[in-house]
Amino acid sequence: MDALRVARRIVAQYGSERFLTNLKLNLLVYWCQVEALRETGAPLFEDAIAVGERGPVETDVWDEYASFGSRMIRQRDEWKEPTLDASAERIVAHVVDTLGALTAIDLLEMSGADDGAWRCAKDRGSATVDVDDILTSADMQRTVPARTLAGCVDKVTREYPNALRLLENS
């Protein structure tokens, strides 16, 4: 399987309920790879993960959705994308359920942690994040951070329901 197929499946299955930008989609695909290694010990896709300027990037996925820039990806032909095998679908569902509500900034912070695979590859001057980088990194044990931008916005929305509306209209 390739990373683009995983990305297309995420867009097809979750694109209408999650705000997916090219960056966020790339990071979710990366975390699908991490989750596959956690769960099965084998990679979900064989494509190389590039060491991007600020985080891991699947080049084919990035190029496919580049025209959207930082705007929300709108479904195109992804609705025709066939389902993945049961194990891959379960991995994708788990990643989107646990990380899909996070912002791209939150995901970048997780992916760029000092003890993570991307940082290790970047520090040694590698062009790619290898499976071994992931397996030996703290990404294998990383959980959703307690404090995220998405979480803070949710908390403000709950505790001060009119605050964001007032800011929106100011």
Which pLDDT tens digit goes with each residue over 3-43?
Answer: 999 999 999 888 888 889 999 999 999 999 999 999 999 99
Report the alpha-carbon distance of residue 130 to residue 93 in Å, rounded. Answer: 23
Per the domain annotation, does 153 fall within a domain?
Answer: no
Domain extent at residue 59: 3-142
Is 166 among the domain residues?
no
The first and second tokens of residue 104, run together, are 């791209």
Query: Of 132, 141, 99, 111, whose CA–CA distance to 51 is shortest?
Result: 111
**Nearest CA-CA partner of 15 in 5, 29, 26, 25:** 25
Assigned domain for 170 exists: no
- Answering whether pTM is above 0.85, one says no
Q: Has residue 27 been placed in a domain?
A: yes
- Burial of residue 56 (number of CB atoms within 10 Å: 0-12, 13-18, 19+): buried
Number of structural domains in the chain: 1
